[in-house]
Structure 1
Amino acid sequence: MNIANIPNKIATFLKEVRLEMKKVNWPTRETAIRYTLIVIGISVVVAMYLGGLDVLFTTLLKKFVL
């Protein structure tokens, strides 16, 4: 590997990245917000479910084992 070629390779890489980024089908602002809210909502539901299981098993362990 020739050290003199490194700047050229970096420049080529960045040009290719720029071209690929232009090809990306970016979501609209509304779509991104909607998907973000869906992810947050599902995360809250899963956290509540797991928290409920934790409380249930903690209560059962304290009652029957400890």
Structure 2
Amino acid sequence: MNRLINYLKDTRGELQYVSWPTRQQSVTFTIVVIVISILVAIFLGFFDYVASLVLQKFVL
């Protein structure tokens, strides 16, 4: 149990050295991730649609 307490204390101490992003940076990075995710989803959806059209043309 003592090892666990020491581990938690050390972890808390190390977290004080972390350079946390500002609120503005967090919002900006979140928006970037959402936009890129939407663009990738559109790209994959388009590719899937085209591939299904091609396969239907050859199979049917």
TM-score with structure 2 setting the length = 0.95
The number of residues matched between the two structures is 60
What is the CA–CA distance in structure 1 between the aligned matches of 2:4 and 2:49, rounded to whole Å?
Answer: 54
RMSD: 0.7
Q: Percent identity over the alignment?
A: 42
**Residue of structure 2 equivalent to 1:33:** 27
Instruction: Kindly name which structure, 1 or 2, has the bigger radius of gyration based on alpha carbons.
Output: 1
Match of 2:19, SS state, is: coil
* Residue identity matched to 2:10: E
The runs of 5 or more residues in structure 1 that have no matched partner are 1-6
TM-score with structure 1 setting the length = 0.87
